[in-house]
Structure 1
Amino acid sequence: MLALRPLSFDLLEVAKSELNEDPRQLTSQIDVIKSWLNECTTLSGPMQDQVLLSFLRGCKFSLVKVKEKLSLFFWTRTILQQVVQNRDPLDEHVLQIIRLGVGIPLPKTINPKDPKIFVIRVAQFDTEKCSFADVIKVGTMINDILMRDDDQVVVCGMSLIIDLAKVKAAHLLQLDMEFLRHVAILYQDASPFRMQGIHILNPPPGMQTVLSIFKSLLSDKNQDKRILAHGSSLASLHQHFPQEILPAEYDGLLGPIQECLDFWEAKLINNRDYLLDMSKLRDSRADATTESIALKPPGCSKENELFGIEGSFRKLELD
């Protein structure tokens, strides 16, 4: 008998109507995926039943798409060793990155069927103390827990509020395009979470080039999603995200964002064993070396042309 968490009535309604979910077939569908993983000699590492169900839901129960997405999931996590290794939440350096709160899921939505909201505060990390890869690492730790524990984000998807306030050139100098390309694959093609909207807040002067590059990193499907720029207008943001579901830093009524940070610090520490287990996922076809990082991922629709952009952001100037 599989250990699967039942959905709430509201989420089950969405799962049936939008994701093609049939509760009577969940066991047999997961068994098919588990058998396939067992037969794959190149893929190794523990995957819980609830996580496999997240991939089924993220692929609208297409077994072919689940296999493609899981292959990418294992592949990118093997290639991006700087992101998925040394992710112990009790490690002092990792704990410092967690406490920065660069990417934080918000606890509430207006409707239980609404997408989960994430606030991404790009300028929160100190470039002299940590790297962009460190920030992505903590993001994958949070996502690993969400894909196992949070039915709302799995069933209803996610909306991002990307806050670019106080972004400096130093933040962008760390963004190597080859690394970004693989991170984009990890968060889109290899993720069970469906993107429902991207909201850009506080872009500084000179950021248009960066926003164009960011859009180029999105998959074709996500480029078709709503991408809205609000400038510095919280009033514009509130038209999409009412104040009762936003933290105080965005004129919201949730209280300070530090409360969300405290919650996630404790949750990551409490799930230490699970996070360390998830770092064991491997694809033997993807040897994590400088030479192999340019290999095309299996099943990926975007080739390794770096989306027509070369190098990094070193020539970019910000006011």
Structure 2
Amino acid sequence: MANVRLISPELTIVAERDLNEDPTQLRSHLEVIRTWLSEHSTIQGALSDQILLSFLRGCKFSLEKTKQKLALFYRIRTMLPEVVQNRDPLAEDVLQLIRLGVGTPLPETVLPTDPKIFIIRVCQFDLEKCTFADVIKVGTMINDILIRDDDQMVVCGITLIIDLANVTASHLFQFEVEFLKQVAVLYQDASPLRMQAIHILNPPPGMHTVLNIFNSLVADKNKDKRIFAHGTSLDSLHKLFPACVLPEEYGGTLGPIQTFVDLWVFKLKENRNYLLEMTELQDNSIVSNSKIPTNNSHPRVHNHFGLDGSFRKLELD
């Protein structure tokens, strides 16, 4: 018997309609994936049935796509130790990163089948205290919990609200393009969470630079319909997101966003053992054939993924 949660009737309808989920085939699908993983002796670290189900849902129950995504999941985590290692939530340096609250999932949606909302406040990224890789590290910690625990996000996807208020050129200079491509692989190609839309708030004067960065990572078919720039006014954002799903800093009624930052500080501490176990995941074939950097440089990983010398463009599903 598969050790997974039942989902609500509303999510069941979405999963069966949009993700090709068939409850009668779930156990056999999980057995196929688990057998495939066991046959790859270089893959280190086990994943629970619940997480494997998240990958199946993220791949719309295509077994081959699930295998590819899982292989990439292990490989890129191996090649990016600066974002998946040294992330003990009880360590003071990691706690300081978490408390910055750069990326914060929000708890509410209008409908139980809407994509979950994730606010990214780039200005919280303190250049004197951390690097962009440090911010991504906290993001992987949060995502590791979400792919295990948040059924709505796994089934219905995620919407990003990216607030660029007070962003400076120094922030943008941290976004080294090659590393951004690797992060795109980490968060999309190697993740079961499906991106549904990106909303950009408070764009800086050099907004064209920011859009060029996003457009370089987004598939052509999605550039016009999935990335929305809202300017410095919240009016257009409120046409899509009512007050009941937004924190008070964005004209909402959920209360201050710090409430949710504090909630995630507690949640990450509570899941310390799980997060440490997830740092053990790796593909030993890459460890044995590659020199994994131990400094803050960003390794070039594309040659390990059969991507013809470059990363695929970020697909928004």
Is TM (by shorter chain) over 0.5?
A: yes
- Residue 130 of structure 1 aligns to a residue in which SS? coil
- The CA RMSD over aligned residues, in Å, is 1.9
1:52 alignment partner in structure 2 = 52
1:37 alignment partner in structure 2 = 37
Q: Which moved more, 1:182-191 or 1:285-294?
A: 285-294
Asked if 1 retains the 8 angstrom alpha-carbon contact of 2:78 and 2:283, the reply is yes
Cα displacement string for residues 148-203 of structure 1 (whole angstroms, at most 9, x for unaligned residues): 00000000000000100000112122222221111110011111011111101000
Distance change >3 Å, CA 266–CA 222, structure 1 → 2: farther
Letter in 1 for 2:39: E
Distance change >3 Å, CA 252–CA 297, structure 1 → 2: farther
Cα displacement string for residues 192-221 of structure 1 (whole angstroms, at most 9, x for unaligned residues): 011111101000101211221122123456
Q: d(CA) in 1 for partners of 2:54 and 2:14?
A: 14
1:289 alignment partner in structure 2 = 292
Cα displacement string for residues 119-165 of structure 1 (whole angstroms, at most 9, x for unaligned residues): 01111011111111110000000000000000000000000001000
- Residue 114 of structure 1 aligns to a residue in which SS? coil
Letter in 1 for 2:310: N
Task: Using the TM superposition, give the Cα deviation of residue 3 of structure 1 relative to its aligned residue in structure 2, in angstroms.
Answer: 1.2
Map of 1:155-166 to 2, 5 A cutoff? 155-166=155-166
Distance change >3 Å, CA 187–CA 44, structure 1 → 2: same
Asked if 2 retains the 8 angstrom alpha-carbon contact of 1:161 and 1:199, the reply is yes
Distance change >3 Å, CA 288–CA 194, structure 1 → 2: farther
1:316 alignment partner in structure 2 = none
1:2 alignment partner in structure 2 = 2
Asked if 1 retains the 8 angstrom alpha-carbon contact of 2:179 and 2:298, the reply is no
Q: d(CA) in 2 for partners of 1:91 and 1:5?
A: 31
1:304 alignment partner in structure 2 = 310
2:143 alignment partner in structure 1 = 143
2:63 alignment partner in structure 1 = 63
Gaps spanning 5+ residues in structure 1: where? 308-319
Q: d(CA) in 2 for partners of 1:110 and 1:302?
A: 42
Task: Using the TM superposition, give the Cα deviation of residue 75 of structure 1 relative to its aligned residue in structure 2, in angstroms.
Answer: 0.9
Q: d(CA) in 1 for partners of 2:303 and 2:3?
A: 31
Q: d(CA) in 1 for partners of 2:143 and 2:298?
A: 25
Aligned-residue sequence identity (percent) comes to 61
Cα displacement string for residues 228-265 of structure 1 (whole angstroms, at most 9, x for unaligned residues): 11001201001111111100000100000011011111
Length-normalised TM-score, structure 2 = 0.92
Q: d(CA) in 1 for partners of 2:156 and 2:196?
A: 8
Gaps spanning 5+ residues in structure 2: where? none
Runs of 4+ aligned structure 1 residues displaced above 6 Å come to none
Distance change >3 Å, CA 74–CA 225, structure 1 → 2: farther
Distance change >3 Å, CA 134–CA 123, structure 1 → 2: same
Q: d(CA) in 1 for partners of 2:235 and 2:44?
A: 48
Map of 1:166-315 to 2, 5 A cutoff? 166-219=166-219, 223=223, 225-286=225-286, 287=290, 289-290=292-293, 293-296=299-302, 299=305, 301=307, 303-304=309-310
Map of 1:18-167 to 2, 5 A cutoff? 18-167=18-167
Distance change >3 Å, CA 288–CA 253, structure 1 → 2: farther
Distance change >3 Å, CA 160–CA 302, structure 1 → 2: farther
Letter in 2 for 1:84: V
- Residue 196 of structure 1 aligns to a residue in which SS? strand
Distance change >3 Å, CA 227–CA 302, structure 1 → 2: farther
Letter in 2 for 1:48: S
Length-normalised TM-score, structure 1 = 0.92
Task: Using the TM superposition, give the Cα deviation of residue 282 of structure 1 relative to its aligned residue in structure 2, in angstroms.
Answer: 0.5
Q: d(CA) in 2 for partners of 1:7 and 1:263?
A: 23
